[in-house]
Amino acid sequence: MRKTGAAREATIRRHIYFALEGGRAGGFVGSVIEFGLIGLIIANVIAFTLQSEPPVRRAFPEFFIEFEGVSIAVFTIEYLARLWCAPEDPLFRGGAFLGRVRFALRPMMLIDFLAIAPGYVAFFIPFIDLRFLRLIRLLRLLKIARYSPALSTLAQVIVDERRALVGTLLLELCAMVFAAATMHAVEGHVMPQAFGTIPDAMWWALETLTTVGYGDVVPVTGLGRVVAGVTMIVGVGLLALPVGIVATGFVNTIHRRDFVVTFAMLSRVPLFQGFSASLLSEIMGLLRAQSVAAGGIISARGERAAAMYFVVSGEVEVELEDKHVEFSAGDFFGELALLHDTMRSASVIARSPTRLLSLSAEDFASLMQKHPALEQRLKQTAALKPFAHDDGITQSEINAAGVARDDARTE
């Protein structure tokens, strides 16, 4: 009976874990919980904002108190449920107690705790400054990052690029000190109230480097204005550094998520089957992303065939003389462009918004020089495809696409 009870508890805990952590992947219950919590988080932010208006606060005093109590209760149940389900997470199975402690120290769990802590602090310590507690309540907005892949990705990018971001911060501090010291030397005797000391001049340097320019402190001498101009130019360049670092990291993270899909597509191409993962990774580094709107032309009849394409998402249609062939996510076409220097005899059009990856013949040629085995495979593939079309689409691909389409219609 004891084992049966433990097994039943583990089953219930696993169902709750998938419902809480799986979101929409956790089925109907998971979707309801996810959307319900997102709605409650947004409602809390709205209530927090409206509560700062005295007329609204006086008109609905009891509503805000009751709504806060319900929110704390729901978020507390969510927090305890996640903590109880921690052993189901593969990363936190090292003991029930220690696993839950490590799980509670995760960033999102700390945010969940801070979201409910002000309510209990205000209840048990009523004399504390409520304005500070209300400010902490706004951390509930950060809970929505749990349900937003974009926000989670952005947070991960900031963590991954922390060294580069700290480096830019140090550059900003160095520039601020240097600009403040220079302005102190140039205008300290003219405007002692603003530039009499280096710490005083740091405020001017900070607002100038950040291009805010409040205008409360301005140089009056010609040399001081030259220093100010140089400081502004340096500030614009330094501010662009963290933006570029985060943007590049964000794009690279998204590309890494597409790695598995792209790797699987490459391994399906007969031309690349059997090669090592390092070679396929090198090929992936040469792929170029391309987005095409619905109705956009990917390649036109009569132009030179110079690349092959992999469909990441969307649908494309090849307009042959006697039929139309469709390709969707996971398919590839045009690899004969890597074999023959020919002209396209068919047009390829996107039927829906499509994301593609292309491999140019020039990049493939450079690969063949570095990897003789790839050149040998290329010759074997050319010998096995005597009925290939000169538009870069193989007869086998056309037949396979036609059979798949007929099977889908039959089903």
Q: Is 153 a member of any domain?
A: no
Helices H / strands E in the chain, number of each: 17, 8
> How many CB atoms are located within 10 Å of the residue 220 CB?
10
Q: What is the pTM of this model?
A: 0.52
What are the beta bridge partners of residue 326? 317
Mean pLDDT, each 10-residue run in order, the chain (411 residues): 64 80 66 87 88 87 88 92 82 72 86 85 69 71 74 78 90 93 91 89 91 85 92 91 86 64 65 73 76 76 75 82 77 68 73 83 78 73 48 43 38 36
Q: What's the confidence (pLDDT) of residue 181?
A: 94
DSSP per residue over 133-171, as a string?
HHHHHGGGGGGGGGG-HHHHHHHHHHHHTHHHHHHHHHH
Of the residues 147, 176, 201, the one at which a domain ends: 147
Question: If you count them, how many residues does the chain have?
Answer: 411
- The enclosing domain of 205 has a CATH number of 1.10.287.70
Q: Are residues 332 and 236 in the same domain?
A: no
Q: Domain limits at 107?
A: 2-147
Judge if 246 and 274 occupy the same domain.
no
Give, to the nearest 10 degrees, the angle between helix 61-84 and helix 2-22: 120
> Looking at residue 387, what is its pLDDT?
37
The candidate with the shortest Cα–Cα distance to 336, out of 387, 260, 278, is 387
SS3 359: strand
**Which CATH number fits the domain that encloses residue 314?**
2.60.120.10
CA distance 66 to 59: 14
What's the pLDDT score for residue 180? Answer: 93
187 with 102, same domain: the answer is no
Chosen domain end from 119, 147, 175: 147
Judge if 123 and 61 occupy the same domain: yes
